[in-house]
Structure 1
């Protein structure tokens, strides 16, 4: 995507907060934003163990897309409360094979996000596809920030009794479970629009590599995504959780939504991070995705990321 192409369109200003470097869906999400002609990617911040290496993965993918202009910041690598869980980015093992800037300072993401939002009040859409530590720190540092956002899209939650009863829950609800205190802070904030994409919907977007042959050979950007995601794909499926939250910033009709209120459990050890949704017809800021048009989503995603530009 070139600046000339962007200027010819009505663009949406996006900040991506991500735990890129593990599950391939973060890289698939970034690839979509880099190729989406209506996206002005203002900045990227990383969260999670070894946040600096995660930031270098994001920067390498930007380089592969020819977008060295996008600022990338390393954020918090530890949760708000002490925890023995500190995941590391396996995909960062591929960094020697891809050009990138060296990022050796962490904990700069919150200041950068705060500055960008205050400089562009009510214009910036925040897309959060990792655990919410950076966002919670931002909201606590500057309590006016939530109201200065244009909108907040979050990939988190389950919102399905059947899935909640599964053997991998609540840990399977990773973005909420890993830092439930941060999640509770973010969902308690007064944001103009807060839209959540849970596993009950995103899990419908699983795709085998055989179903889309040549996906990671279509262009240099997708080759980088495939390479950084290869450690994950060696033992996991490819599910487009995060790309859905990104795509719906530009094509909200890909999903149907329900309005209500979300609460986060941060006190009960057996249900840490469980997000409960209560439907409501009141003027509440929370919308959750309840259905997705799978065929239309993949048609849109591949047209953007693997198209002729």
Structure 2
């Protein structure tokens, strides 16, 4: 079976959905996970968390720490609370920050038009990559991004624009990525991902393998205060099962001028656009698919 080459860019170590996303990719038999890059505040520790989860699955995946701060100066410096659990898991500790863009550039140039890029954190690493090598966007097969809201009803309810975390934290990076010449950008916003909330007690049988026990452990600081919302796993699953969502084509505009709306993303529907946003998700089909992937493998991660 031909497998899809995937590069994951993640701010793993906080919200458990990043770890759930990584577990899915490790268990998905159609996925060749060629590398992981980390972004956003103590990136070395985030790389350690990613490496530890891979090792829990019996896998050795290249992991590179990326941008520690946003493109423009910012007082925000998010830290990975889940890193407090590192002492309980085997992991590599010798990670140097700001290596992600170089790794992604080499990998994409070695496999032109073959790499599916999955971005589930803020887009500083991806924007840096596109600025360093402007030809790279055209050499990517596809780019799936978890970002945006795309719902006036949600925008009225949520604390905006901070609720749109991945765009708001580095809006200039987000604008660079959405203006790049990528053949296909699929975006999964809160308008669909907020349909995928699950309380931990509802996740019966999810955390039984060694891999998923690691995910649970690193996500425990998050789970102590929050339910699980599977934002990032949806973006990952739709690389392989795009029919889980319905899409609309068009363009995405990122707000950079109005400080009150900084990072807000506006979708403009149009025919022939290279951007698609998810408009609806089949919740039952998604959860059935996700559970089948992460619960069906052996402890040593032999599914992929």
Aligned residue number for residue 4 of structure 1 = none
Partner of 2:292: 303
Is 1:174–2:160 an aligned residue pair? no
Q: Offset of 1:167 from its aligned partner?
A: 4.0
After TM superposition, the structure 1 = structure 2 runs for residues 170-209 of structure 1, keeping only pairs within 5 Å, are 170-209=161-200
The structural deviation recorded for 1:103 is 2.9
Give the structure 1 partner of residue 34 of structure 2: 42
| Cα displacement (A) at 1:73 | 0.2
The CA distance in 2 between the partners of 1:52 and 1:208, in whole Å, is 30
Q: Alignment RMSD, CA only?
A: 0.8
Q: Do the aligned residues in 1 keep the contact of 2:47 with 2:95 (CA within 8 Å)?
A: no
5+ long unaligned stretches in structure 2: 299-304
8 Å Cα contact 2:205/2:295 also seen in 1: no
1:5 is aligned to: none
- How far has the Cα of 1:236 moved from its partner? 1.3
SS at match of 1:81: coil
Segments of 4+ in structure 1 off by > 3 A? none
> Aligned residues, how many?
298
Question: Matches of 2:254 and 2:94 in 1, distance apart?
Answer: 33
| Cα offsets for 1:204-236 (capped at 9, x unmatched) | 0000111122322x2000000000000011111
Residue of structure 2 aligned with 1:244, choices 234, 245, 249 = 234
Instruction: Give the alignment's TM-score, normalised by structure 1.
Output: 0.95
**CA–CA separation in structure 2 for the residues paired with 1:130 and 1:143:** 21
Residue pairs, 1:12-161, within 5 angstroms: 12-68=4-60, 70-161=61-152
1:97-118 CA-to-partner distances (Å, cap 9, x unmatched) read 0001113311001000000000
Is this contact kept in 2: 1:53–1:103, CA < 8 A? no
Q: Deviations over 1:169-205 (max 9, x none)?
A: 1101000000000000000001001100000000100
Whether contact under 8 Å (2:145, 2:235) holds in the other structure is: yes
Aligned with 2:283 (options 249, 270, 294): 294
Cα drift, residue 302 of structure 1: 0.5
Shift of 1:166: 2.1
Residue 231 of structure 1 pairs with residue 221 of structure 2: yes
